[in-house]
Amino acid sequence: MKISKITSKIAGAVFIGIGVYLIVFTEFRNAGFGALFIGILTLLIINPETVEDKVATAELESNVKPMHDLLSDLNVMGKGVMVAPNNNLKNTRVFVPAGKELRALPDLYDEMVIVAGGAGRLGVSLVPPGKPIYDEALSRLDTTMSDIEGAREVMGMLSHGLDMAKSFSVREEDDLLKLRITHGRYDDYCARVMERSEGICEKTACPICSSYLMALTESIGSPLAIKEFEKEGKHVKYDLEVLE
C-alpha cells in the first residue's frame, strides 16, 4: 500500500519547526540547521507516492522523538492544553505547563514558544504536531467547525478519508469530553511512540492523535486540557476538560 502526500508534509513541517526553534531559541544552531535542511529536503525532494508504509511510519515515529527530547531537556512535566484561535492567537497551539499542575492558562501569541508569565504561567507553546494532517482533512471538507458535529465531520475525514484511524467516537460525560480513537494500520506505530517517547501522548500527542484533538478544540472554540490518557488494546482514550 502506498501513502498519501500527507506523511511527507508532516515529516518536513516537524523537522523545519524543530530546526527553527533550535536556531532561534537555543545554542544548538548546528543541529538546528541540520533539522531545517532535512525538513526542506523532505518537502521538496522526497516523492511520497513511492514511500512504503513501513517507511512512512518510521518517519512519523522519528518526528516525535525530537519533540519528546526537547520537552524532557526543558524539564516540562505538565499535561498539554489545546488552545483554539482567539483574539491573541491566529493559529491553534498546544501549551504544555512546566509544572505537573496547570495553575492558570496564560495568554498565548503566535510568536511565543517559551512562556514565562506570572502566577505559575510557565511552559512551552508549540504548533500541534498534527497540524499538517488536520489542515489536509479540513481542506477536503466544507464545514463551519462551529460545534462538536463539525468536529465529527473532520474526524470522519481523518479516519476514512486519510486512513489515520479505523474509527473514533467523541461524547460528553461528567463535565468532560471523552475522545476515543481506534487505530488500524498505525497501531504498531502508536505502541512504539508510547514506549520510546514516554509521556508525549499527554503533552503534545503524536501527529495522529494531535490532529483529532485539533478538530475538537477548534470546533468548540475553547481550550481543552488533557486530564487523562489511556491506551487499551487498539483504543486510545482522552479525557478532556473544557476551560472557559
The pLDDT of residue 48 is: 46
Radius of gyration for the alpha carbons in the chain, expressed in angstroms and rounded: 17
108 domain-assigned = no
152 domain-assigned = yes
Residue span of the structural domain in which 166 resides: 53-75+129-242
**What is the dihedral angle through the alpha carbons of 141, 142, 148, 154, rounded to the nearest 10 degrees?**
0
- In the sheet that holds 122-126, the strands lie side by side as 114-116, 122-126, 93-97, 81-83, 224-232, 235-242, 176-182, 167-173
Same domain, 20 and 70: no
Nearest Cα to Cα of residue 4 among 52, 53, 45, 48? 48
231 domain-assigned = yes
229 phi and psi angles, rounded to 5 deg: -135, 140
Same domain, 13 and 68: no
Same domain, 7 and 66: no
- pTM as predicted: 0.77
Judge contact between 154 and 215, C-beta under 8 A: yes
CA distances from 73 to 6, 66, 77, 172 (A): 29, 10, 11, 36
Run of H or E residues at 170:
strand 167-173
Same domain, 71 and 39: no
Give the whole-angstrom CA distance, residue 202 versus residue 207: 13
101 domain-assigned = no
Residue-wise pLDDT tens for the chain (244 aa)? 334 456 666 666 776 777 777 777 777 666 666 666 666 666 554 444 444 566 556 666 666 878 888 888 888 999 999 999 999 999 999 999 998 888 789 899 988 888 887 666 789 999 998 998 999 899 988 766 678 888 999 999 999 998 899 999 999 998 999 999 999 988 888 888 898 888 999 999 999 999 999 999 999 999 999 999 999 999 999 999 999 7
- Single-letter residue type at 212: Y
30 domain-assigned = yes
Same domain, 238 and 145: yes
Same domain, 35 and 149: no
The pLDDT of residue 38 is: 66
225 domain-assigned = yes
Burial class (CB in 10 A: 0-12, 13-18, 19+), 23: middle
The pLDDT of residue 112 is: 86
81 domain-assigned = no
Domain count, the chain: 2
218 domain-assigned = yes
Same domain, 61 and 182: yes
The pLDDT of residue 18 is: 76
The pLDDT of residue 50 is: 41
Same domain, 33 and 68: no
The pLDDT of residue 60 is: 64
